[in-house]
Amino acid sequence: SSRVVEIQSQMSERAVELLGLPEDRPCLLLDVGCGSGLSGDYISEDGHYWIGMDISPAMLDVAVEREVEGDLLLADVGHGIPFRPGMFDGCISISAVQWLCNADKKSHSPPKRLYQFFSTLYTALARGSRAVLQLYPENSEQLELITAQAMRAGFTGGMVVDYPNSAKAKKFFLCLFVGTSGTLPKGLGTECAGGEEIHQAKFTNKRTRFTNMKGKSVKKSRDWILEKKERRRRQGKEVRADTKYTGRKRRPRF
């Protein structure tokens, strides 16, 4: 549903913001549990490249059908992250990591799977980069288990909680640093007095994201399409030549 898509893209946007990426160059990000590539769309719009991993072939089929710009890998992250050391400038994950706490098979040990995931993720990330993992923990034990395995793997950092006082909007982001301990970003809506104000503004703001925020082209406009085609050419993909018809609206009937 469009509500789910909207929440997903808000969380992706927040996760990428918490990564604190350099402004001056495109980065390569890993999207853990990328599903149908909704967070990937946001990463691409932001001008970055990504590789997505997911355990569900059905979800990845949807991503392929949607022609997402990232590369996709079918894999169980509980077996580890199979990329060369220092390859990624950051990692995001939207509502996926809590699944590693479930023992789906007799042989599954959640602490081992979490440690395997975090230790290989640590290696795959460039020094000085971050991983921001949004998750829905079932309880505080789960939260502690996840955080403990991340720290054991060498990460520093901790939990950033947005809107801690709101049952509906409360979101957990595990914000992890590689090789440098940065200062943990502040959660949104943590200043009680005017907290509600901020929360409202934040959401109304998002709905107008494609009406030229940050001077970017309005989504699906001619400029936006040309930029997207240009990005795909740079990635070495086959793209049709631009013509005067590119991005033109069709008449309602032929």
Determine how many CB atoms are found less than 10 A away from the CB of residue 18. 23
Nearest CA to 96 out of 31, 190, 1 is that of 31
Residue 236 binned pLDDT confidence (cut-offs 50, 70, 90): confident
Q: Is residue 208 part of a domain?
A: no
Tell me the residue range of the domain where 126 lies: 2-203
Confidence of residue 218 (pLDDT cuts 50, 70, 90): confident
Mean pLDDT (the chain) is 85
CA dist., res. 39 & res. 44, Å (int):
9
194 lies in the same domain as 232: no
232 backbone φψ class: left, alpha, beta (φ>0; ψ -120 to 50): alpha
As for how many domains the chain has, the answer is 2
Is 212 contained in some domain? Answer: no
Domain co-membership, 167 together with 222: no
pLDDT band at 240 (very low <50, low <70, confident <90, very high): confident
Q: Are strands 156-162 and 125-135 parallel, antiparallel or unpaired?
A: unpaired
Q: Is residue 67 in some structural domain?
A: yes
Residues 191 and 113 in one domain: yes
CATH number at residue 124: 3.40.50.150
Q: What is the pTM of this model?
A: 0.74
**Span 13-34, pLDDT tens digits:** 999 999 999 888 999 999 999 9
pLDDT confidence tier of residue 254, bands split at 50, 70 and 90: low
For residues 26 and 128, state if they share a domain.
Answer: yes
26 occurs within a structural domain = yes
Measure the N-to-C terminal CA separation of the chain; round to a whole number of Å: 31
pLDDT greater than 60 at residue 151:
yes
Please state, in angstroms and rounded to a whole number, the distance separating the CA atoms of residues 206 and 187: 17
95 and 139 assigned to the same domain: yes
Same domain, 10 and 76: yes
81 lies in the same domain as 189: yes
Same domain, 187 and 222: no
Least confident of 32-46, 93-107, 108-122, 218-232: 218-232
Say if residue 69's pLDDT is above 80.
Answer: yes
Instruction: Let me know whether 143 and 226 are in one domain.
Output: no
Residues sharing a CB contact under 8 Å with residue 246, sequence separation 6 or more, in sequence order: 222, 225, 226, 229
**pLDDT, mean of residues 122-131:** 96
Is residue 163, in this structure, part of any structural domain at all? yes
**Phi/psi class of residue 132: alpha, beta or left (left: φ > 0; alpha: ψ in -120 to 50)?**
beta
Q: Does one domain contain both 142 and 40?
A: yes
Chain-centre distance for alpha carbon 121? 15
Helix (H, G, I), strand (E, B) or coil at 175: strand
Residues 28, 95, single domain; the answer is yes
**What is residue 214's predicted lDDT score, i.e. its pLDDT?**
52
- Residues 61 and 176 placed together within one structural domain of the fold: yes
Query: Does any domain span residue 210?
Result: no
Interval 152-210: pLDDT, tens: 999 999 999 999 998 888 999 999 999 876 788 889 987 654 444 333 333 333 333 44
